[in-house]
Amino acid sequence: MLAGARRDGAIRTDLDPGVATTLIGETACAIARSRPTEQLTGAYITVLMDGLRPPSR
């Protein structure tokens, strides 16, 4: 999935795939541990996706 997203330009290519996988996994764990509300879950995911998105040119 990450390889396809990188190939399609959907996520940054300057991050090692292992780092991206760890970020996604740790974010999922943080959401699960926090007894999240819908708003908090959305905030976690928004911050994660903003960080993975390639910079604007």
Q: Count the helix, strand and coil residues of the chain and give each as a percent rounded to the nearest 5.
A: 65, 0, 35
Examine residue 38 and state whether it is found in any structural domain, yes or no.
Answer: yes
Examine residue 40 and state whether it is found in any structural domain, yes or no.
Answer: yes
CA distance 12 to 20: 9
**Buried residues in 30-54 as b, exposed as e (16+ CB within 10 A):** ebeeeeeeeeeeeeeeeebeeebee
Examine residue 33 and state whether it is found in any structural domain, yes or no.
Answer: yes
pLDDT tens digits for range 16-48: 989 999 999 999 999 999 888 999 999 999 999
What's this model's pTM, rounded to 2 decimal places? 0.75
| CB burial of residue 24 (10 Å; 0-12, 13-18, 19+) | middle
Examine residue 57 and state whether it is found in any structural domain, yes or no.
Answer: no
Examine residue 26 and state whether it is found in any structural domain, yes or no.
Answer: yes
Count structural domains, the chain.
1
